[in-house]
Structure 1
Amino acid sequence: MEIGVDTFVETTPDAHTGETISHAERLRQVVEEIILADQVGLDIFGVGEHHRKEFGDSATAVILAAAAPMTKRIRLTSSVTVLSAADPVRLFQQFATLDGLSNGRAEIIAGRGSMVDAFPLFGYDLKDYDQLFEEKLDLLLKLRESEKVTWKGGFRPAFTNLGIYPRPVQNPLPVWLGSGGNPESVIRAGELGLPLVLAIIGGSPLRFAPLVPLYKKAAALAGHDVSKLKIAVHSLGYVGESNSLAVEKYFPSTQASFNYFARERGWGQYTRSQFDDSSTLEGALYVGDSETVANKIIFMSKHLGFTRFFLHLPVGTMPHEDVLKAIELLGKEVAPRVREEVGKWDSNK
């Protein structure tokens, strides 16, 4: 079981002061968070991609590369790359460079993203949403297969027998497929034999359970070894020194962030009752002390079959020292509990 953290480098107004941290300061904080995650034994750190003022993560590979020389073992991934609006060649070059700088610790999680801010910025039409993703994913996978590539598609200039450099340390460079639970995307991941990341941020995570056999069936029909498939889950949460302290620290920023975007999208306001419901054992939030969060990861892993878990934190703007403390507890207390329990499952097989 791999345990890690991901972030969107949020720069929303502080729930208590109303002040907004600068992108520059938040970026430096994230590098500190990656370094600490490595030091406390976490396995993976992911950085998302957005292109608007509330986030500082538009250049994901650059952020990860800043931490690469100061970390030793933690894997560094996008979470997710908005592939539909990216140039797969430049994306591959950036993460191959990161792979070299980190000596083989780079990964890409390719997805569509839940926000569409990248489309107008890079000149893409939303009516091509599905075709863009399919074509660019095909090219990205070809780029990692061989040094020289010939390509012709509908959204990017063609090229013939050109070398793509630098080449990554890992062969092939890991590419995961991110999904918010769309059955078609889960089937696509299975057909391609790609590891799958399920983003579960609301409702009951157990409703995602039917997607797992769907994914494995698609992979088996395509001739892939199902035993080698990997499934990860990305969910929101916070680890505190006690259950009450975790809620006290985490709820205000989470509510403020949810309501900030709810006003933009015309959604209802996020309430404490909704938060409490989501924090139960079968809810989508992983909030509490180390034992509570570990037990929930173990419970959900039994039902969903994932072997990698991303805790997304913070949601909104939280004091940096609180984020660092949560990362420390996740690495030193939560991860060992989860690994020990999962190790028992493996030994009983």
Structure 2
Amino acid sequence: MEIGIDSFAMLLNDPATGRLQSAVDRMESVLAEVELADQVGLDVFGMGVPLVELYRRAWLAAGHPSEEQRVGVHALGFVGETDKAAREAFFPGWLQMFTDAGRERGWPPPTQAQFDFMCGPDGAFLVGSPQTVAAKIKHVNRTLGGVSRLTFQMSTAALETEAMRRSIELLGTDVTPIIRGHRLG
């Protein structure tokens, strides 16, 4: 299974000051994050169950060999030392991103309860300690019948540079070895 990170370069307002970070500052962070991801062995690159099943059927109906079929997952994710630390680091950026998107689209503001559910055992976010994130990845893999690629959307936490760097490090040094040691797909 390939594991990587997507959308490193999103610009967000600093939750503390409300100011948009500069493109130059963000690109400096991006280069450091990509370098770190490479150093810790991540593959940096860029569906729900019914769509995956439909895709699998369409693939076979088109005459393609099943052993060449690949399924990838792109999910909001963030790894912290503990579940609590990961949620606390990820929540402010997530709240800002989805509040802004909601305002543009006419949605109600997101809530802490929504975030907590999405981080929980039945939620779609891969946010938590290395053990929690690895367990959720294994669950996704089983549920979808085998996943060959998983991409983390981490940019909602991009303003917390140290937390972002530590999350990338934990993903590469703690989560990835657990997953690669577990036969997937």
Shorter-chain TM range is over 0.9
Tell me the residue number matched to 1:52. none
**Cα separation, 2, equivalents of 1:325 and 1:18:** 24
Listed as ranges, the gaps of 5+ residues in structure 2 are: none
Determine whether 1:11 maps to 2:11: yes
Corresponding residue for residue 105 of structure 2: 265
Letter of the 1:242 counterpart: T
TM-score between the two structures when normalised by the length of structure 1: 0.51
Name the structure 2 match of 1:225. Answer: 65
Instruction: Count matched residues.
Output: 184
What SS does the corresponding residue of 2:182 show, helix, strand or coil? helix
Indicate if the aligned counterparts of 1:243 and 1:288 stay in contact, CA closer than 8 A: yes
Tell me the residue number matched to 2:165. 324
Q: Which residue of 2 aligns with 1:242?
A: 82
The structure where strand makes up a greater share of residues is 1
Structure 2 residue aligned with 1:315: 156
2:35 maps to 35
2: CA distance between counterparts of 1:316 and 1:297? 20
TM-score (norm 2): 0.93
Which SS does the other structure have where 2:141 is aligned? helix
Does residue 1:290 correspond to 2:118, yes or no? no
C-alpha change, 1:33 and 1:327, in structure 2 (3 Å) is same
Question: Which residue among 222, 227, 251 is the counterpart of 2:91?
Answer: 251
Separation in 2, partners of 1:228, 1:222: 13
Distance in structure 1 (CA, Å) of the matches to 2:30 and 2:109: 29
Deviations 1:186-206 (CA, angstroms, capped at 9, x unpaired) = xxxxxxxxxxxx4xxxxxxxx
User: How far does the alpha carbon of each residue in 1:44-81 deviate from its partner, in whole angstroms, 9 at most, with x for none?
Assistant: x23xxxxxxxxxxxxxxxxxxxxxxxxxxxxxxxx4xx
Runs of 4+ in 1 over 4 A off after TM superposition: none
| Aligned-pair identity (%) | 39
- Contact map agreement 2:141 2:147 (CA 8 A) in 1: yes
- Unaligned stretches of 5+ residues in structure 1: 47-78, 80-197, 199-207
Instruction: Check the 8 A contact 1:238/1:314 in 2, yes or no.
Output: no
State the alpha-carbon separation in 1 of the partners of residues 62 and 127 from structure 2.
39
C-alpha separation between the residues in 1 aligned to 2:123 and 2:88? 18
* Aligned residue identity for 1:40: V
Contact 2:89 2:157 in 1 (8 A): no
Q: Which amino acid aligns with 1:324?
A: R
Paired residue for 1:276? 116
Give the secondary-structure state (helix, strand or coil) at the position aligned to 1:310: strand
Are residue 339 (structure 1) and residue 153 (structure 2) matched? no
CA RMSD of aligned residues (A): 1.5
In structure 2, C-alpha distance between the alignment counterparts of 1:213 and 1:235, rounded to whole Å? 18
2 CA distance for matches of 1:283 and 1:223?
A: 35
Structure 1 residue 318, shift from structure 2 partner: 2.0
Aligned twin of 2:26? 26
The structure richer in helix per residue is 2
Q: Which one has a bigger Cα radius of gyration?
A: 1
- Structural mapping, 1:165-184, within 5 Å: none
What corresponds to 1:177 in structure 2? none
1:302 paired residue among 142, 158, 162: 142
CA distance in 2, matches of 1:212, 1:13: 35
Q: Comparing both chains, which one has the higher relative contact order based on Cα–Cα distances under 8 Å and sequence gaps of 6 or more?
A: 2
**SS class of match (1:306):** coil
